[in-house]
A = this chain, B = another copy of it.
Amino acid sequence: MSSPGKRTTELETKDLLLEVAIDLFATKGYAATSIRDIANGMGMSISNIYHYYGNKEGILLAIFEQSAVRLYEDLERVAELDMDPAERLGLLVKTNLTHTGRFRNEARIYTIEREQYPPEAQERVKRLQRQILDMYVGQLRAIAAQGLLVHGDITVLAFNILGVVNWPLRWFREDGPLAFDQVVEEIAGFVLRACLRPEAVPESYSAII
């Protein structure tokens, strides 16, 4: 750490705080979670929260920044791969799903409806959500350039993809009967079949055997 005087636990406390907040925000919701809930959850007093993050909104922003940016960068890396556009779209969907599967609670937070963010945060949230949508639009355009895309509005297609990809946050249970990996495969197939002309759907996604 750069500055002196740390009690050796700054990072741990700061991160523990985020961890607890992520958990509570994701389950109870941001508005229904109190500063005291968080302090309680980490077994410390509320002072730390104000010491490290300024105010309640600061926690939310930190969570959003940390995890939404990470998602965006993960996706961007895939989006720029030099490969067949259809396969790349499938990989993008799977990457997105894997990400939200691994960081489930964080994902539930950055997919909160924008209106429920504090007004000051909304612009930032909107921009990042827009960037992710645009990434899907870009992938679809590459496919369209090959004449392999179904007809229809590309933006609607992209929104539909986001819908299917984010919905498992609402229903998938780790302890349920389905394996997450299998769900990822099936959703990727669902997306490709819906977006591509039938003859362009890679065999591994067509789910027709």
Contact = CB atoms under 8 A, between A and B. Distances in A.
Contacts of A157: 186, 190
Contacts of A206: 150
A156 B181 CA distance: 12
A29 B31 contact: yes
Contacts of A27: 115
A90 B13 CA distance: 52
A190 B31 contact: no
Given A32-B116, A150-B207, A193-B194, A159 B163 contact: no
- Size band of the A side of the interface? 35 or more
Interface string A89-121: 000000000000000000010000101100000
A160 interface: yes
Given A116-B28, A151-B209, A208-B151, A160 B187 contact: yes
A115 B28 contact: yes
A152 B28 contact: no
Contacts of A170: 113
A165 B155 CA distance: 15
A1 to B, nearest CB: 37
14 contacts: A29-B113, A31-B31, A31-B32, A157-B190, A160-B167, A160-B187, A162-B167, A163-B166, A163-B168, A166-B167, A167-B167, A190-B194, A191-B194, A194-B194
Nearest first, the 5 closest Cβ-Cβ pairs linking A and B are A163-B167, A198-B198, A194-B194, A31-B31, A31-B32
Interface of A: 27-29, 31-32, 108, 113, 115-116, 150-153, 155-157, 159-160, 162-168, 170-171, 178, 182-183, 186-187, 189-191, 193-195, 197-198, 206-209
